[in-house]
Amino acid sequence: MLTTKFPTINRESSMLGFGCMRFPTTPEGKIDEAEAIRMIRHAIDNGVKYIDTAYPYHGGESEIVVGKALQDGYREKVILTTKLPVWNVKTHEDMMKLLDEQLEKLQTDHVDFYILHAMNNERLDAMQKLDYKKFYAEAMAQGKVLYPGFSFHDDAKAFLRMLDDWDQWRMAQVQMNILDDENQATLEGVREAGRRGVGVVIMEPLRGGLLANPPSDVAAVYEACEDQRSPVEWAFRYLYTMPEIVTILSGMSTWEQVTDNLRIFDLKEQPVLTETEAALYKSVKATYMARTKTRCTGCKYCQPCPMGVQIPRIFQGYDAAMLRADSSFASGYERIVADEADASRCVRCRKCERACPQHLPIVQYLQEIHADSTK
């Protein structure tokens, strides 16, 4: 297992982290506790040093199962991260109440990282008003939290605002993969975090499984490469060559995924991206992106539409279906129609186009997607 260190705090971690959002489940939809515990402990026994969970995962059950898995001496072997559900925080006191509830579920007296969950501009405003820094000072003084951090879902400007807001951040968890180097925090944001000594933890390295099962034209790009690796290994390799990245989370749902990931991350040292590999990733991304129509980033500058058209929902849903090379968007579009938010309501006022930072021909795309999704 490739071992790494968080900068500034000098804590040893592993490049592979166990994400606890996608545990195996029973036919009734509950976590298969015995199998999940077996998987977690096997990963730890084979070098995984980082465990990531959160308050809402598996309907609030993930933290409970993680707590059980980390008994019998396993807690001391890992960095344990969970997240403050900021949407449930209405008062300053709520933060400590939620932390105490989570510590009880996790059966531990402290977490290594306690991070603000799914932060964006709006949530940062709210946390500032509730004095999140004072909460961290209190929790850290009591030994309940060792290090502060945040997970992030917004744009690059908002990411820099998060970094600027506090010089005590020790970790930032961001979405990054072959397709998202210009989305959300962006590659430049990752590098800026690294320059500031903030350890970067990656979520969605496989884009929700999309990159694990590429369409035929993308698969052909990989197959033409002299070095033969699975799409999953290529996706992870893209990330673990980046010097700023400390840990890559994988939401492992099966025993086979655990063992395959342990194989992929069985590295003695961090590789360096070669020119050939960089060209491969560029070609892979271009092939994926050629399948899309809008390339909408979901920034929502076009919202609200005066007629209620949910433009980002339509555009991103359509592009995602094209990336997967399936026809699933038609049923999704039916739900948008039912919500009275579909493209037929567009009156071509073009207010959205004037607001779009990417200068997309939104009205044209809406007409074409509506026609394609209702034929």
Residue range 9-15: average pLDDT? 96
Structure tokens of 149?
């951090």
- Tell me which of 268 and 126 has the higher pLDDT: 126
Beta bridge partners of 173: 151, 201
Would you state the pLDDT for residue 373?
92
Residue 320 has pLDDT above 90, yes or no: no
**What is the rounded average pLDDT of the residues 165-184?**
95
Q: How many CB atoms lie within 10 A of CB 146?
A: 17
pLDDT of residue 375: 83
Q: What is the mean pLDDT of residues 174-192?
A: 95
Question: In this predicted model, what pLDDT tens digit does every residue of 47-79 receive, in sequence order?
Answer: 999 999 999 999 999 999 999 999 999 999 999
Task: Report the C-alpha gap between 165 and 73 in whole angstroms.
Answer: 37
Range from 322-326, 340-344, 345-349 carrying the lowest mean pLDDT: 322-326
Going by C-alpha positions, the residue among 118, 152, 115, 107 that lies closest to residue 132 is 115
DSSP secondary-structure letter at 31?
A: B
- Examine the pLDDT at 327 and tell me if it is beyond 80: no
Q: Cis peptide before 304, with omega less than 30 degrees from 0?
A: yes
What is the rounded CA–CA span in Å between residue 173 and residue 53? 12
Nearest in space to 370 (alpha carbons), one of 334, 341, 332, 344 = 344
Q: How many other C-beta atoms lie within 10 A of the C-beta of residue 20? A: 27
| DSSP H/E element including 79 | strand 79-84
- 208 Cβ contact list (under 8 Å, min separation 6): none
> Which pLDDT value is given to residue 326?
80
Residue-wise pLDDT tens digits, 81-117:
999 999 999 999 999 999 999 999 999 999 999 999 9
User: In the predicted model, what is the mean pLDDT of residues 315-336?
Assistant: 88
216: tokens are: 């035929």
Provide CB contacts within 8 A for 195, sequence distance 6+: none
Using the 8-state DSSP alphabet, how is residue 86 labeled?
Answer: G
Q: At what angle do helices 255-264 and 231-240 cross, to 10 degrees?
A: 50
Helix (H) or strand (E) holding 41: helix 33-45
Question: Would you kindly state where each structural domain of the chain is located, as residue ranges?
Answer: 3-283, 311-374
Confidence of residue 328 (pLDDT cuts 50, 70, 90): confident
Reduced to 3 states (helix: H, G, I; strand: E, B; else coil), residue 337 is helix
**Contacting residues for 168 by C-beta, under 8 A, at least 6 apart:** 133, 136, 148
Q: Which residues make Cβ contacts (< 8 Å) with residue 369, sequence separation at least 6?
A: 293, 294, 314, 315, 318, 333, 343
One-letter amino acid of 263:
R
Give me the residue label for tokens 């990282």: 113
Cβ within 8 Å of residue 73, ≥6 positions away: none
Amino acid at 120: N
Percent of the chain at pLDDT > 70 equals: 100
More confident residue, 324 or 240: 240
Q: State how far the Cα of 85 lies from the Cα of 32, in Å rounded to an integer.
A: 24
Fold held by 3-283: TIM Barrel (3.20.20)
- pLDDT the model gives residue 347: 97
More confident residue, 327 or 325: 325
Average the pLDDT over each of 120-124, 222-226, 295-299 and give the range with the smallest value. Answer: 295-299
Could you tell me what percentage of the chain is helix, strand and coil, using 3-state DSSP and rounding each to the nearest 5? 45, 15, 40
pLDDT band at 336 (very low <50, low <70, confident <90, very high): very high
Please answer whether residues 239 and 210 qualify as being in contact, where contact means their C-beta atoms are separated by less than 8 angstroms. Answer: no
In angstroms, the CA 295 to CA 182 distance is: 11
Sign of CA dihedral 277, 3, 110, 136: negative
pLDDT at 314 over 80: yes
pLDDT bucket at 323, cuts 50 / 70 / 90:
confident
Residue 8: other Cβ atoms inside 10 A: 15
Q: Where are the beta strands (DSSP E) in 96-153?
A: 111-119, 145-152
Mean pLDDT value across the chain: 95
User: Per this entry, what is the length of the chain?
Assistant: 375
Q: Is the dihedral of CA 362, 368, 372, 375 positive or negative?
A: positive
Q: According to the model, what pLDDT value does residue 330 have?
A: 87
pLDDT of 357 above 80: no
